[in-house]
Amino acid sequence: MPSPLDSQAIQAALKGLDGWIYQDSKLLKDIEFQSFKEAISYINKVSVLADKQNHHPEIFNCYRKVQLKLSTHDAGNCVTEKDLTLARAIQLLSP
């Protein structure tokens, strides 16, 4: 079972993750695209990464806006290294 990270470790990791914040015990990123089609394409790319890691984010979409939330259910919905690993992979996709 993954162990929750303390806020100090999370804040240190966020320095290398553009646009991500720590809020309500989750990693959060909001992204706005030029079109709905681009937003959905991005969501599909995130889904491929998430499936490969068997770690699935909460994904919210409203037209051109996408919001990602990462936490680990097995760790009481807290942030773990699994979330940071997925956030780093997603970072490589970011527009």
Q: What is the pLDDT of residue 94?
A: 64
List C-alpha distances in Å: 2 to 34, 53, 67, 95. 37, 14, 24, 30
Q: Residue 1's pLDDT is what?
A: 81
Q: What is the pTM of this model?
A: 0.94
- pLDDT: is 9 or 1 the higher one? 9
Sequence spans of domains, the chain: 7-91
CATH node for 7-91: 3.30.1360.20
